[in-house]
Amino acid sequence: MSHINEHLVTLRARVDAHFDAAVARTPAGFRCQAGCDRCCHQRFSVFEVEAAPIREALAALEHANPAVRQRIRAQAHDREAIACALLVDGRCSVYEQRPLICRSHGLPVAVPDAQDPDGPLAVDHCPLNFQDIAPPRPSVLVLDAINRPLAVLAELSSPGAGRTALADLAGG
């Protein structure tokens, strides 16, 4: 495994650990559970550094379950679909290799305020989560803390490369 891949695995592990700690801190605040795929009803793109392990997972799926792999291809080519092409029966078909954006879904996240991008960060979260309580500050993930190192890894891995739509990966 290259050093870049090792750093990606570390970054993923840190986001996963942050998520686990947030759930442990306020379990009543989270509605995230197996079968909830609300956050997967979007189409995303990823840097090549994240696309490569997804391609590997899809190649493994081709051998392990060709029928599911074919469903993923068909979903990818459905240009009217809103859901992620990798979503099969309410579950991510490449869950272990899912990108960082997917790993952060459900968490309360701190993002620049659309009205005041230079001002303080705004906290956002899934509308199903934290309905009765505010997310505790230690549970809030500052997205720049993930996006900046990911962008560095992406540039080191594939200088100047653009992003790849997950649907394009799924359709390949």
pLDDT, tens only, 80-105: 999 999 999 999 999 999 999 999 99
Listed by start position, the domains of the chain span: 3-171
DSSP string across 29-70 = G----TT--GGGSS--EEEHHHHHHHHHHHHHHHHH-HHHHH
Distance CA 15, CA 26 (A): 17
pTM: 0.90
- The percent of residues above 90 in pLDDT, for the chain, comes to 87
83, burial (CB in 10 Å: exposed 0-12, middle 13-18, buried 19+): middle
pLDDT, tens only, 13-71: 999 999 999 999 999 999 988 888 999 999 999 999 999 999 999 999 999 999 999 99
pLDDT tier at 1 (50, 70, 90 boundaries)? low
